[in-house]
Amino acid sequence: MTNSFLSELKRKTVSAEQAAAVVKSGDWLDYGFGLGQPDLFDQALAGRINTLEGVKLRGCLALRPRATVEADPQARHLQYFSWYFSGLERKMHDRGLCHHIPMNFGEAPDYYRRFVEVDVAVLKTAPLDAHGFFNFGGAVTYQKALTEKARLVIVETDESMPYVYGVENGVRINDVDLVIEGGKGSLPELPYPAAGQIEQKIAGIIAQEIEHGACLQVGIGAMPNAVCELLVNSPVEDLGVHTEMFVDSLMKLYQAGKITGAHKTLDRFQMTYCFAAGSSQLYEFLDRNPACFAGPVDYTNLPHRIMQNERAVSICNAAQIDLTGQACAESAGLRQISGTGGQLQFMRGAYASRGGKAFLCMSSTYERNGRRDSRIVPRLADSNVVTTPRTDVMYVVTEYGLTNLKGKSVPERARALINLAHPEFRDDLERTARDYGFLSRKLF
């Protein structure tokens, strides 16, 4: 590291309390994404939040409780906004402390550059490197665009943050206003959920559809994990990865020798992603790993990029689907539970890929308050958000099988989806479908 970088670092380094002091009433404050959200700054700002008014805090996929929000339980001084809810943000929302911002994830950098105002951006990064950059680590996403837009940029360094290779993966020290040196902390981890019998069955159906040389997009959850575990012991070889989220199951599939990227068009021989969340072993795996390529979310998620790799496979989840094929993956009525994220863009990109396949997966039923209900319904529940329009849904998978809705009429869709429902609900679904005119008595 040159003396000029070191001197600039020394000049800009402050305590968390000094950094938090720059926030003013009425500011738009942005914590960025996931692993890139600050902790020391957050705790320091919590200590003075009662001295401020009208602060608006924007974040996404918070993986730790936000001290600033918890210090203001009546939201009298600060309002928190999120692009995509983690479990923590969902609970904050239920308490009236968090509001959702709808978006297609791949458009986030453009939102910042064109529409979103940011007074202060505070991001957790890796320490300053020898070339004068703070690396965004496991949270590349839209962080570069955020630093371009913010009036004031603060970084909080953490030696535990993996240093990742790719593009738009860091910010130069001369573009940073203040630095909080956090030493070596510990990054939040997400558990590796075990798959139950239903998830295993759905995973088995999907795994049979994945071909030699396919390029995978998977997220976190028991079912995607189960798919990857089945692929470890399958005859399929030379898989590629082009995904938004890098998870433990992809690391394990790579370590088993199943991922080479040899058939990819974009970033051949590398696994492409824009953020990571999982175990500490995953973060160590990503650190300075030339097999991995981290890019901004408009690099990973826009359909015209996804489709460049042949045999792209997208595996997404849904909470509810109606008999015409429109799917909800982000809400339960008026209750926001997650967000659109990258689902719609990966469904479109995988479909457009030569030989591509987009899977929308769900268990046929769910239980709430001791009652079992069908995820396949005549029409979406009132106020449920349409995440993926019926025109974009390709394969639908439950534990009862798989169907491709592309090219199917409404009667054909209704019949195919009824056959994927739990047997307990099929008769009622058919009666309602006929009442709605979805099914013709003569043809179906």
The per-residue pLDDT for 442 is 60
Residue 196 host element (H or E): none
pLDDT one-digit tens code per residue, 101-151: 999 999 999 999 999 999 999 999 999 999 999 999 999 999 999 999 999
The per-residue pLDDT for 3 is 78
Q: Which of 50-54, 354-358, 418-422, 438-442 has the lowest mean pLDDT?
A: 438-442
As a whole number, the mean pLDDT across the chain is 96
Contact call for residues 83 and 60 (beta carbons, < 8 A): yes
Summarize the confidence of residues 211-224 as an average pLDDT.
Answer: 90
Percent of the chain whose predicted confidence (pLDDT) is above 90: 93
Angle at 328 between CA 204 and CA 413, to 5 degrees: 70
Neighbours of 149 (CB within 10 A): 21
Does the active-site annotation cover 244? yes
Q: Dump strand ranges (E) for 257-309.
A: 271-273, 275-276, 292-294
Query: What sections of 368-422 are H helices per DSSP?
Result: 410-420
Catalytic entry in 229, 244, 330, 399 = 244
Token code pair at residue 268: 């051949």
Q: Which of 10-19, 69-78, 171-180, 194-203 has the lowest mean pLDDT?
A: 194-203
Token code pair at residue 86: 């983690």
Owner of token pair 């996404």: 60
Can you give the pTM of this predicted structure? 0.96
- Considering the segment(s) 197-436 as one domain, its CATH architecture is 3-Layer(aba) Sandwich (3.40)
Distance separating alpha carbons of residues 124 and 203, to the nearest angstrom: 35
Q: Domain 3-181 is in which class?
A: alpha beta
Indicate the domain borders of the chain. 3-181, 197-436
pLDDT one-digit tens code per residue, 237-253: 999 999 999 999 999 99
